[in-house]
Amino acid sequence: MAEVRIEHTYDCSEDTFWNEVVFDPEYNRRLFLGELGFPKHELKKSEETDTEVRRTVEVTPKLGDLPGPLKKLLGEGLSYREEGVYYKGQRRYVIRIIPNKMADKTKIEGVMSTSPVGEGQCKRLFVCTIQCSVFGVGGLVEKRVAADLEASYGAAARFTNQFLAEKRG
């Protein structure tokens, strides 16, 4: 099992981060389809109550070069469904990622949360566990997913602060 802990600071309040960034369709389109180059990022379902937001997103990430064993395992590529619940009062988003391949042997779960840093800034923390029980390649899959998460969250942090500056004019 691998655990990833990713932390970034944003030039906005927590409310702005959740309300004008994470759940903003324009932001998500520009981030995932533009900046990160994902072939697909599609919101399939979103339900909001006074206390939470539940959503399901279907994603096909950009994979890049893969080691031989992973190419053989994934075949035509990889996509996944992200199921998440955002708890408004806790400013906490709990996600589960269900891949289109080896879903019964792969468990990816994470929690994203924010905390104030100072005037006009917040810190986002994402902690994720990755477990793949495929004989011979499970560890390789876990390491690759962890590395891809760190790279995409880093690119997203840079993009997000640019997006926020652009919105402010």
pLDDT at 74 over 70: no
pLDDT the model gives residue 27? 97
Strands 40-48 and 92-99: unpaired
Average pLDDT over residues 127-146: 91
The full DSSP string for 9-41 is: EESS-HHHIIIIIIT-HHHHIIIIIIIS--SEE
Q: Which domain holds residue 148?
A: 2-168
- pLDDT for position 75: 59
CATH of the domain at 81: 3.30.530.20
Length of the chain, please? Answer: 169
**What is the structure's pLDDT at 2?**
94
Count structural domains, the chain. Answer: 1
Q: Is the pLDDT of residue 127 over 90?
A: yes
